[in-house]
Amino acid sequence: MPNNELKGISPCWHKAQIIANIIGAIAIPVVIAIFTIVYSNSLKKREIGVHYFELAVGILREEPKPKTQALRKWAVALLEKHSDVPLSEDAKRVLMEEKIAVSICIPDTGITASGEHPQPSAR
């Protein structure tokens, strides 16, 4: 600051203003960088969750067999982990015992998974 602007401002306030400017110049980019890293990590986790969800659906679309029960149990656990709605015990049992036929579209991702669709009945 030029000397004519320092009149009436104590030297302590002048030093505090300089320090605040330096901290602000450093803190703003650091906060932006941290926010960017956190946001990117969140998006990456969501993307990985979607891929796990697709994997689980792929496993559960296959015909249940005794040798694949452990894999189906893992797939059901994946569905439950990556779903906002918890599965009931009945739903888990059905997923373990029956082949599922699904068509899924996950909003805001463009990801779809199609399964077998029953033909509409004639009315």
Amino acid, res. 56:
A
Work out the pLDDT band at 72, boundaries 50, 70, 90. very high
Domain residue spans in the chain? 9-114
DSSP state letter for 85: S
Q: What is the pLDDT of residues 48-63, one digit of tens each?
A: 988 888 899 889 989 9
For residues 10 and 14, give the distance between their C-alpha atoms in angstroms, rounded to a whole number: 6
pTM of the full structure:
0.57
Amino acid, res. 64:
P
Q: What is the pLDDT of residues 4-23, one digit of tens each?
A: 455 667 888 888 889 999 99
Q: Note the pLDDT of residue 120.
A: 43
Q: Note the pLDDT of residue 113.
A: 61
Q: Note the pLDDT of residue 123.
A: 43
